Structure 1
Amino acid sequence: MSDAVSALAGTDVLLVALDFDGTLSPLHDEPMQARMHPEARTALNALRAAPRTTVALVSGRSLGDLRVIAEHDDTSSVWLAGSHGAEFWQPGVGVHASAEDAVDDGLRDTLRSHAEEATAGLEGVFIEPKTFGFGVHTRLATPEDAEKANGAVDAIVAAEAPHWRRRTGHNIVEYAFRHEGKDSAVAHLRELVGATGVLFAGDDVTDEDALASLGPHDLGVHIGTRQTHASVSVPDIPSFAALLSRLAAERTAGV
């Protein structure tokens, strides 16, 4: 792992693109209460100060929600890719305009309402509004109620919007009428900043597209213990924060 970090530290233009939930912040029963782990924040601040280095957050969260939980304001130098790469925020520019589809917006609202009705009697099930769809959270539900909720909403979406994309994560199933993934988000960020090397890290199934898309001069990191496309795995957020801090130190020392 040290060799991989050192090799990446020497790249000309570095992009550090990171998932948020489970990667920089512990998973939280109340999604909007998630906040960055202090050690992760310290490491990110060091990378933001490193030469020729861009830091980005790449999340399934809607852009507005991502800004709240990341405590991100208009003065930040951190790039954002929300909704799995369907929304972008650029330092000094702001939100990149996204084409709106009134038909799909209407269908989104209808499906979300139907999902809320179908799961209303299941304790611990929460429907999260998203810009391009919605998510079904079951972290606080029993396994039986989680199965009922996911089955009911799967049936609704299959009947009313079979063209929507379905993603699974930690105790959440997401549905969206946009099909961008974190792989396309990282590719777009790489092009925008002219990166010669990329570090991407995540903890969930939805991060695997991006991890699988990385090239030979990049570094993929998985936080956790499951099977992954990442070349490096670390057990938890503090361990990952230590890796980021080492990357920042080596990159700064190489000036």
Structure 2
Amino acid sequence: MPRYQSLDSWRGLAAILIVTFHSTLFVANETRLAEWKDSAGLDLANGLLLITARFWMAVPLFFVISGYCISASAVNSRVRSDGLSRYLARRLSRIYPPYWCALAVNSMAVWTAGWFGSRAFQSGAGEMPSPSQLDWTQWLGNLTLTESWRAQALGSRQLMQLPVAWTLCFEEQFYLIVGVILALAPRRLFVALAAVTFLVFMNSVSMNIAPVRMMGWNLNALQLRWHGTFAKRKFQNRLRMVYRQAK
């Protein structure tokens, strides 16, 4: 498939928005901005912070772009008749080496700051654990971008040394899903992708009735981070009604 230069522009814009959001995260929170607005009015500086506080919306934009790129790479692999191993090798080689470098640099920075007695990385927004706080299973989850899965499977605490890498965990899962589709139904690629899209949509609408946090176990697990969604409340109210009738 052709390479669209506009995608790089959108990626660059989204990256700038996210970097700005994280850079102002310490001061641009809703509570503080509301206090500023009520007490002294909203001046230009605080107004700009009010805007940057919503730059997190660039994350869904990244997911949309990634969805297109993953689908395009799957089409190219099908045209070239690449096997599953070659497809995964090409895709994962774009994620893991840069991520491992970032993880190493971040770990060294946090460790060095701690060695000098500074808690700059371990207080306030964006708290990062010291490398020594992670056990070997947590390091395995971090290195393989499966920490959310590992925590659910082993029932232990989820701890990410580089918290902003959570989006890569989701991207890696979709690489794997598309790879399985290529291996099992290469001639029905678009039908299978449409089916996965439908399942993700249904998951976001109805699967959040689960009574426990399912982060890492389903295609749209992020929905379950916030309990009390409409579908879950409806499910709980129905259970209460059945219980009262039974009494």
Q: For this structure pair, what is the TM-score category when the shorter chain's length is used for normalisation? A: under 0.3
Q: Choose between structure 1 and 2 for higher RCO, CA contacts under 8 A separated by at least 6 residues.
A: 1
Q: TM-score, normalised by structure 1?
A: 0.25
More helix by share: 2
Q: TM-score, normalised by structure 2?
A: 0.25
Higher strand share: 1
